[in-house]
Amino acid sequence: MKEIPLEQVQEGDILARDLTSSNGAVFLAAGSILSAPALTRLKKMGIQNIAVKAKNPEDNAEAINKLLQLLEERFSGTENNPYLQEIKSIVIDHLKKPE
């Protein structure tokens, strides 16, 4: 699950992972709906990136496809290297992991 910059988060997005302060305390739990005031508060706190659940499965699928394309490009020409091929399949699994 990747994090996105706060500016790209939309009102109504759902927080995908607990937000913790530097001592480990959770100040906003996963599942919270991010209202406009909440987003402003997070911005004031200096938070830069957060993980949000994708609203549409299609949005998510499109993002993943783009990342998979980049991955294919990155690994092209490495077919004869068993280590790189194994790393490639691990990264694909990480990308496809359900949120």
Partner 1 sequence: MTEDKRLEKIIGKISRLPTLPDNIQKINRMIDSHNSTMEAIGHAIASDQTLSAQVLKLVNSGFYGLSNTVSSVTQAVVLLGLNVVRSLISTAWASGMIVKSFPGLYEHSLACSRTCYLLSKNLRIEEPEEIGTIGLLHDIGKVVLAEYLPDEFAKIQAMVKDKRMRFCDAERAVMGLAHNDIGKWLLQKWHLPQAAIDPIAEHHCFKASSGHARRTAVLILSDVMVRAEGFGWGGDNVMPELSHEVTDILALQPKDLRRLMDELVDQMHDISRYTGDKT
The reply to whether 62 sits near partner 1 by the rule CB under 8 A is: no
The reply to whether 23 sits near partner 1 by the rule CB under 8 A is: yes
The DSSP bridge pattern shows strands 14-15 and 49-50 to be unpaired
Rg (alpha carbons) of the chain, rounded to whole number: 17
The minimum distance between CB 39 and partner 1, in angstroms, equals 14
The reply to whether 47 sits near partner 1 by the rule CB under 8 A is: yes
List the one residue from 5, 41, 61, 62 that touches partner 1 (CB under 8 A): 5
Angle at 38 between CA 99 and CA 40, to 5 degrees: 115
Integer angstrom CA distances of residue 30 from 48, 68, 81: 17, 26, 40
Interface residues with partner 1 (CB under 8 A) are: 1-3, 5-6, 17, 20, 22-24, 46-49, 51, 67, 70-71, 73-75, 77-78, 81-88, 90-91, 94
